[in-house]
Amino acid sequence: MKKGMVYIKNLMEVLILPIALLAVFAVATNGAFINSRILMTALRQSVMGTIVCLGLTLNLNMGMMNFAGGASMICGAVIGGNLAMATGSGVPGLIFFCLIIGVGLMTIQGGLYNAFRVPCVVLSLGLTMVYEAVPRIFYPEGCTLPIDMTKLALSPYCFIIMIVMCVAFYIITEYTVLGHNMKAIGENPAIAMGAGLNIDKVKLMSFILTGVFFSIGALMYVSKGSVDNVAAMGSMPVQMESFTGMFLGKFLGKNVNKAISVPVGVFSMKLLASGLTIVGLNSNMQTIIQGTILLVLLSYAANTGLIDKIKADREFAKMARARA
Amino acid sequence: MKKQLKKWTALLLCVAMVFVMAGCGNAGDGKDDGKKDGQKQEDETKLTDTTAADVDETLAKAPHFNITVMLGSFTDSQGVETKKALEYIEEHFNVTFNYVETSNTTENTIAAIETAVASDTDGIIGACVKTAACVQAAGDVPMVNQPDIGEAMTKELAGKENYLGSVCEDDYAQGYAAGKALYEAGCRKVCIARMTVGISESIDNRGLGFLDFVAEHDDMELLADNQSRGQYADAVATFASAFPEMDGIFCVIANDGVSQAMVTEGLVGSVKLATVGYASSDKQLLENGTLVYCTGGKAAITMTCFLALYNHLLDESGMIDGETKLITRNSMEIKSVEDFEAMEKYVVGDVPPYNAEEMMNMVHYFNEEFTAGDFAEICNNYTIDDLMSRRSK
Amino acid sequence: MDGKQVSRTSEENVQIQKQLDKKARQKERIMNLIPYAGFVFVVVALTIATGGNLFSANNLANILNQSFVMIIVAVGASFVYAHGGMDFTVGASMGLAEFVIVTMILSDKVPLAAALLTGVLVPVASSVGVACCALYLKIPVFVGSLGLRMVLMGVLNMVMTNSANGQLNISYNDYRFIDNVAVKLLVLVAVIVAGYYLFEYTGIGKKAKIIGGNRTVARESGVNVSKYVIWGYVFLGVCVGIAGIFSLFRAAGVSNTSGSGTEFNLMTCIALGGFPLKGGQRSRIINAILGAMTVCILSNGLLLCNLDANIINGIKGLLFIVIVGLSYDRSSGKLVS
Amino acid sequence: MYEENLITARKICKSFGPTRALIDVDIDIRRGEIRGLIGENGSGKSTFSSLAAGLQKADSGEMYLKGEPYDPKDMVDAQRHGISMIVQEMGAIPGITVASNIFAGRLGEFSRFGILNWKKINKAADDVLADIGAPDIKGDMMTATLNFEDRKIVEIARAMSTNPDVLIIDETTTALAQKGRTIIYNLIRRMHEEDKAVFFISHDLDELMEVCNTITVLRDGVIIDTLDQDEMSVELMRKLMVGREINGEYYRADKDGTHGDEVLLKADRISVRPWFENISLEVHAGEILGFGGLSNSGMHEVGRALFGIDKVLTGSVTLPRKGKEITSPQAAVKNGMAYIPKDRDNESIVLTGSIANNILVPVWDKLEKAAGFIRPDEERKVVQEQIGKLGIKCRNGKQLVKELSGGNKQKVAFSKWLGNDCDVFIMDCPTRGIDIGVKVDMYRLMEQLKKEGKAIILISEELPELLGMSDRVLLFKDGVISKEFGREEQLGEHDVIEYII
């Protein structure tokens, strides 16, 4: 029973922020904010962000920041969409092609990462430029899906896909050998290598899994209707959009699996965005508020222990002086 | 380990070589551009006296020119349409285009212009100039800008003869007309989804036109103004959920995401949409009356820039009026499904709004009596009906 | 027992030892040469591809104008990267600096020099902000500067939208005395010499390298870590300010896309120049400058090649990967982050 | 042809860049043998054990296991062949459970189509822990909650989980208290009875004499000799390790503990949570004040507090001669204090830096001229002077510190402060893990500094060194000074033991 209680406490810790946001905006819009329509739309908008952020978290858990997420998603969406239309294979073909391209791109990145021993951040910058250029050679006009192929973005399917991906993430990180090895390497790579884990293989697998998440992200992106190619570094906003949500999730859900805290983080950010729109602040204010929340949250996370440390120090000093 | 590293480097280098070859090959002779669907579409419109072959023959006799085309990007819907039209021109005229993307930053624009001048280009069109420095950077290379640069800068650049002038559509009027269309369709509570202000002047002017219309009509209320870098579909979804009482949306750029969002958010029938520009999935919105205003055929702007420059290069004949240095083209409004189908057929099909023969007649070098007045007049009556009548002749 | 007498000083072992020492020094020298090789490769390849146009008379002036901003920022950034720091606010703070200068000039109640000075203070403040977040709020530099970048971009967009719809222009001809090749060369040389002097011959550079090598050792050897980290960010802020001034007068106007993309370009320059991302003793200003030159010549040359817009960035990305892949120091092996 | 041997190594060579760790090493380990391996740091003993355990690959030479050629890919592969190792540094990963640590790299055996069965894993972990004699530690505990010693026991469990033929123990006992040591000794006895082999690496020569039946001496990567049970003696081993006669007494010959009476460093009732409370002490000019005690007695933390690294919660640390209070390392260095930390590679020198840069760090402020200019020739003068004074073996000042041997690294750590004419030295285990030759040089240097009237605080975990070198000794136990005595009282180790255990 005790274990259950602890689990509930951790879960509540994660849900504080969305509930707080709902309360704040409910007051600000005197009740107009609390309607299922807004919550459903925010949830639907957070599907793509959640899946992309879960992919990024797989890499971040091992200390690797990957900028090429947005670019590989656009590449998968454009080429996958066009191939599916060309072969007339409908939605199943779309899923198949998106997966092939997404996983392929990330496997290349994993291979280069292991071969060149270059930090993931630097390599992903170079690959972003390459992955943005590839779809423009084959399909410069981007990809526009006919209505019947965009079923996945509609409400029943997109939530199913999100839940499936979250459950998959949960199983991978908690119950598989690979997930466990990834956590061990992320914790302390030097000791993990000493303990006999094959770091290169595990990192390559983590890239491939990230590729799966990015390709499902690409699938949701193209199912929204149409995807245009981008110019230099144009894919950054696609990935950075739910970046704050990911860090929100990472820090809010310290002791609960990321499969729960990341979706909640991304959903909270979408709630914030629609809340601010209703209250009438334009999108510039939203970026400022999002950036400030990220900074406040990061400093809170970095100094959680500070208050009770100071209290304990003062307590210790008082006792020491008494005994002197 | 060493073996593996060499393997990867070799692979990367040959891929780089393939890129460069494909690139140089493509830039060299613009004629048989591999990427385009290639088969030369026969001009299905009947030419009265001169056949297509004669047109191509006369055009090929003109001297060859290298022309640099600069746009914010060739990937959004207007960019793609424009590039297709220019590739058509490259097929028929004895010119080679060099496409440069400036992602709308002044530094990139100036750098691109300087580099174009250094690679001795014969002329520059497009450029989306925001400051006088860009024109100064062009030195004495003739240049036709898109969209207009405002009176202050035109006055400042009075001395520069290489600046032939600007060509634009009256974006402000289009925004205003979109507001009017929504107003006439009964919309009173509207939202606007637009691109972050400051990136592209022509898109900003559309927003200003619409906002002024709403301001002038106090029985019309603006619920929300969402600025983003292209996430318009999300903006529509947020409007739909946040403002149930909303009955009209204006989106500064037409894109398929927005049209599909109207369907997925179940707004068809309850909310009217007005956009500027062309999106392929707008057709059913026209059918069910959701789309009350949209314009098309923006590629014609860049084509007009080309024709103005081409006239100057061939025989120095100025097509743009000396003082204002500005041509404001009429915008092609789409009111009905028939208009839409005509546009799809004649504007964004394989033949751009002006086919080779019509363009030939708009060049003084080939057609002596053609004057700047005729040029301005053609730009003014650029409508669907004019296009249909030209194509049906 | 089984250990027969093998001595280290036996003639054959001394031979092997000398050979190993020579191989180690050779490897070190090659590692330092690869960024230069990358630079030469780019220059030669592009000169051939552009048929000699790359170094034609007027293109040289273009290369100087186009690379001026990146070289100045790279010189400033080498102080920050030397102590293992990072700063993504560079682009947005440069835009804000230009905005402040333009508003002051247009209000023409302020002398030009004062306007320029206040303009330089804006990036200094934002970089020191990143330093304070890292030092006192204990926020990791990478994510902290991304968060601050978001805030600054929001502020820049808002300020620009409220004033004259996103575009503020100043007259082009009045400021030719600033935006000309002679002044730029002078300022470039001055900044490089000042940077080199501060980096190699004063405490600021030396202590930044030691902090980059091992922050605990620096602190316990009496180095005031916070002071020298902040000094590094101040110098970066000053360089970004100077770059912002010249970029403003070159463009004769500011918009909310001014300076955008400089932060990712800067990281490309640092990586391409073979400048160690974690800092430490191998950091040298010449590598940062080399990286900036390689990136700018690459962009300029590819434009000159009249390549199709679709593949220009693809080639740039590929060349970036090849050069970084070869020149990056592989000592951390499997444990690279 | 080597069937009767468990492990046979022939002409094994291994080098890291220019430094050659092992040169033509031949070793035979037979069944039932408890082989000790001794040698100074950098002699190659850890390198050889990591080759046998599959952590690293030999450059050349062959190894045989029970007669067949043996070349392990990694630690798990070696464990499958029956050779497991307990590494010297921290080998247990804090963020995961005890069971995951024990079966790290081998979890595949407990999963069906990739899905882990945690119940089965935890049960197997509990069995192994009970088998080696630590039933109180359970498989599902989080490793981070265990103290340092229990984490080492988890590592022992990992090594024993495949009941290996050869167990390699690399300097583990030094960090263990009573509970851990008894577990290790029982295991060794059991391996001997089951006719298996143990490879035991340690600095503690007495412990080796009790436990091992053969001892091999390694020096500079070359095997010097292998001693049988009867040939073993501490003096012989020390002589073989150093390679030359140790003449005369190690420590100080004189017996008088006199020192100047001017107080150079004064601490008044300082305390740092949770390490110590109300510590007051004074150090006089020309005095060596020794701090003795176990590693967790708080003496190391007092040294850090005196230098201003950790902020003191009560009281103050002052330099009476300069009238300054020490609140930060910067203030300490500016007022002539020096601190040589215990963790040399992470806290006292920058491994990726050059010798010159390491030596100059505290000196730069003094060398600064107008506009912060530091003259390169002055720098070279200081560096050459220090390299000469301490006899650091290196090519030139530009050589990287990571290429130096352990002793030379410690000399660099010392010379950093000598170039800065400090008058108060705080040395935390200055001679730990360096070869005896350099140790002797360090002791002579301390004597010379004492004569020059410097104040020295010597923090050491080796009682002989403490008693041999200090004028006055403070013994620490659980954050309190348990005893103070002078050199003249000539107390022996056994007199002071009960004050520190």
* Tens-level pLDDT at each residue, chain A (324 residues): 677 888 888 888 888 888 888 888 888 888 777 888 888 888 888 999 999 999 999 998 888 889 899 999 999 999 999 999 999 888 899 999 999 999 999 999 999 999 888 889 889 989 999 999 999 989 888 888 887 888 888 888 899 999 999 999 999 988 888 888 898 898 888 888 777 788 899 999 999 999 999 999 999 999 888 888 888 788 888 887 777 888 888 777 777 888 889 999 899 888 888 888 888 777 788 889 888 988 888 888 788 888 888 999 999 889 888 887
Query: How confident is residue B142, by pLDDT bands cut at 50, 70 and 90?
Result: very high
H-run or E-run covering D200: strand D197-201
What's the rounded mean pLDDT across residues D75-87?
84
State whether residue C134 sits within 8 Å of chain A by CB: no
Does residue B390 belong to any structural domain of this protein? no
Superfamily of domain D5-242: P-loop containing nucleotide triphosphate hydrolases (3.40.50.300)
Q: How many domains does chain A have?
A: 2
> Which ipTM did the prediction report?
0.85
| C146–A298 C-beta distance less than 8 A | no
Query: Quick check: is B105 in a domain?
Result: yes
**Which candidate from C267, C311, C328 shows the least CB-CB separation from A137?**
C311
Range ranked top by mean pLDDT from B21-25, B198-202, D244-248, D328-332 = D328-332
* B249 and B359 assigned to the same domain: no
pTM over 0.90: no
Could you tell me whether strands B123-127 and B143-146 are parallel, antiparallel, or unpaired per DSSP bridges?
parallel
**Is residue A159 domain-shared with residue A264, that is, in the same domain?**
no
Average pLDDT, chain B: 81
Q: Cα–Cα–Cα angle for B132, B133, B135, nearest 5°?
A: 70
Say whether A184 and D95 touch across the interface (CB within 8 A). yes
User: What are the domain boundaries of chain D?
Assistant: 5-242, 263-336+422-500, 353-420
User: What is the predicted pLDDT for the residue at B35?
Assistant: 36
Contacts of C4 in chain D (CB under 8 A): 26
Higher pLDDT, D170 or C289: C289
Average pLDDT, chain C: 87
Positive or negative torsion for Cα A25, A29, A35, A38: negative
DSSP category for residue D176: -
Residue B123 confidence (pLDDT): 92
For B99, the domain range is 51-170+298-331+355-382
Last residue of some domain: A204, A223, A241?
A241
| pLDDT tens, position by position, B255-283 | 888 888 888 888 888 899 999 888 887 88
Q: For residue D381, what pLDDT is reported?
A: 92
Q: List Cα–Cα distances, C224 to C255, D331, D455, in angstroms.
A: 40, 9, 25
Average pLDDT over residues D377-383: 91
The answer to whether D62 contacts chain C (CB < 8 Å) is no
- Nearest-by-CA chain A residue for B259: A225
User: Mean pLDDT: which of C55-69, C240-254, D382-396 is highest?
Assistant: C240-254
Strands B272-275 and B291-296: parallel
Token digits of residue A107? 């496997």
With beta carbons under 8 A apart, name residues in chain C contacting B199. Answer: 166, 255-257
Question: Can you give the CATH number for the domain in which B129 is found?
Answer: 3.40.50.2300
- b/e map C57-75, b = 16+ CB within 10 Å: eebeebbebbbbbbbbbbb
Q: Is A194 on the interface with D (CB under 8 A)?
A: yes
- Asked whether residue B164 falls in the same domain as residue B179, the answer is no
Using pLDDT thresholds of 50, 70 and 90, give the confidence band for residue C192. Answer: very high
* B327 and B261 belong to one structural domain: no
Q: Does A115 touch chain B (CB under 8 A)?
A: yes
Average pLDDT over residues D425-438: 81
The verdict on A174 and A266 lying in the same domain is no
The answer on A187 and A262 residing in a single domain is: no
Is A178 an interface residue toward D (CB < 8 Å)? yes
In the predicted model, is pLDDT for residue C17 greater than 80? no
Co-location of B216 and B166 in the same domain: no
pLDDT at res. B39 = 37
Instruction: From A221, A241, A261, give the residue that closes a domain.
Output: A241
Please report which confidence band the pLDDT of residue B43 belongs to, taking 50, 70 and 90 as the band edges. very low
- The residues, any chain, with a CB within 8 Å of residue C158's CB and separated by 6 or more, are A282, A284, A285, A288
CA distance C134 to C132: 5
Of C3, C203, C222, the CB nearest to D224: C3
The answer to whether chain D touches chain B by having 3 or more C-beta pairs less than 8 angstroms apart is no
Chain D interface disruption, residue of C221, C283, C332, most D CBs within 10 A: C221
**Nearest neighbour of D100 by CB, restricted to A180, A191, A196:** A180
> Domain segments of chain C: what residues?
68-328
Contact flag D105-A180 (C-beta cutoff 8 Å):
no
Which helix (H) or strand (E) segment holds residue B275: the answer is strand B272-275
A77, A185 contact by CB (below 8 A): no
Of B107, B115, B208, the CB nearest to C304: B115
User: How near does any CA of chain C get to the CA of B381, in Å?
Assistant: 30
pLDDT per residue as tens digits for the range D99-156: 888 888 788 788 777 788 888 889 999 999 998 888 888 888 888 888 878 888 888 8
Judge contact between C38 and C326, C-beta under 8 A: yes
Within a domain: residue A30?
A: no
Touch between chain B and chain C (3+ CB pairs, < 8 Å)? Answer: yes
Report if residue A97 sits inside a domain: yes
Beta bridge pairs of residue B70: B100, B126
Neighbouring-strand partners of residue B96: B66
pLDDT number for residue B47: 45
The answer on A309 and A212 residing in a single domain is no
CB A211 within 8 A of CB A105: yes
Q: Say if residue A154 is in the same domain as residue A294.
A: no
For residue D479, the model assigns a pLDDT of: 87
Same domain (yes/no): A130, A189: yes
- For domain C68-328, give the fold: ABC transporter involved in vitamin B12 uptake, BtuC (1.10.3470)
**Percent of chain B whose pLDDT exceeds 90:** 12
**Predicted local confidence at residue C5, as pLDDT:** 54
* Greatest mean pLDDT among A246-255, B337-346, C158-167, C289-298: C289-298
CATH class of the domain defined by D263-336+422-500 = alpha beta
Chains with 3 or more CB pairs closer than 8 angstroms to A?
A: B, C, D
The verdict on C9 touching D (C-beta cutoff 8 Å) is: no
pLDDT confidence band for B42 (50 / 70 / 90): very low
CA nearest D370 in C: which residue?
Answer: C202
Kindly indicate the confidence band of residue B36, based on its pLDDT and cuts at 50, 70 and 90. Answer: very low
Looking at residue B354, what is its pLDDT? 87
Mean confidence (pLDDT) of chain D: 85
Is the residue at A254 inside a domain?
yes
Where residue B15 falls among pLDDT bands split at 50, 70, 90?
low
The single-letter DSSP state of residue D406 is H
Instruction: Nearest by CB to D277, from A176, A177, A323: name it.
Output: A323
pLDDT at position D283 is 92
Which pLDDT does position B19 carry in this prediction?
52
C328 chain-A contacts, CB cut-off 8 A: 116-119, 122
Both A185 and A165 in a single domain? Answer: yes
Q: Nearest CA to CA, how far is B368 from chain C (Å)?
A: 34
Q: Are residues A98 and A228 in the same domain?
A: yes
Mean pLDDT confidence for B73-98: 88
Do C3 and D216 make contact, defined as CB atoms within 8 angstroms? yes
What is the distance between the alpha carbons of residues C154 and A296, in angstroms, rounded to a whole number? 16
- pLDDT the model gives residue B13: 55
User: Looking at the 3D structure of chain B, how many domains does it have?
Assistant: 2
Domain limits at A297?
247-324
Residue B24 lies in a domain: no
Residue of chain B with shortest Cα separation from A78: B75
Buried b (16+ CB within 10 A) or exposed e, D202-220: bbebebbbebbebbbbbbb
Predicted pLDDT at B45: 44
Mean pLDDT (whole number) for D32-57: 83
- Is residue B350 one of the residues assigned to a domain? no
